[in-house]
Structure formats: structure tokens, C-alpha cells
Structure 1
């Protein structure tokens, strides 16, 4: 089985978001921190399609799951 490595910027592109470093940093600042009880895909700022992509990638432990986990951690990093 061949595993793929996806970059953070590629996940943002996959989500239909600007994926340059400044835009990613701005997105994370604007939406952090996620409340402790909120699952990443349940955050109110996702479109239904974005939420579905995030949920499915994690549920299937797909190629994108690792970078989705990184996004989840980044959006929680400023908590507390």
C-alpha cells in the first residue's frame, strides 16, 4: 500500500480556500481557538461540503487524515 504525503497548503486548496502561507495563518488566527467540545468538522465556519470532506477523510483514515489532524491541532493551539 502506497501512502501519500499531503501538505497543509494542499488541504486548504482541497477545501477551496486560499492556500498561501499568509492566508493560512490568517485563517487559523481568525478561527482559533475551537471550543474543546467542538469536533473539527462541526465548526460553524465550514461550508457543508468542506465539513463533509473533513469528516470523511478522518472517518476513512484516508491519505488526508494526517494533515486534517494537523489543521485540528492548529485551530486548538491557542486555547487557554
Structure 2
């Protein structure tokens, strides 16, 4: 049986990594969720020490974590290399 938690986890992409462009909003780095079915944006709140600039000039790789911050799903920077594809 599929639970609501499972369906929500799938649409939010918990544990998935995405290449995202970040922007700063009210002191938080935020990205739109690449999954159109996701009801939340991504607030990047972990791994910020990997960034040379805030917000970074290019895309970074972000992993979605199972936590909500300010009404957004939390994310962690896992690769800030702008040349990484």
C-alpha cells in the first residue's frame, strides 16, 4: 500500500540530487523545484560552506533532504563546481 508520505516524498524528490540555479530571498538561498508535481520550492540550508559566492553565479548540485524550512523543502549543496554536468 502506498502512503501519503510515500507520494509526497516522491513528488518532493527526497534523497534525489538536482543541478539548480539558486537565488537569494530574504537571506535564504532558494531554487524552484525541477519536479513540476512538487508543491514546494527548495531552500538550500546545508553545505553552504562549499559555495564561493552567495548566490553562486552558476548552477550547483543540490540534494533534497527530508526536512522543511520556512515552508520549503530543505536542500544540501553537494557539488558547487560550475563545470560539473
Please say whether Structure 1 and Structure 2 have the same fold, judged by a TM-score greater than 0.5.
no
* TM-score, length basis structure 1: 0.32
Structure with bigger strand share is 2
Structure with bigger helix share is 1
Larger RCO: 1 or 2 (CA < 8 Å, sep 6+): 1
* TM-score, length basis structure 2: 0.31
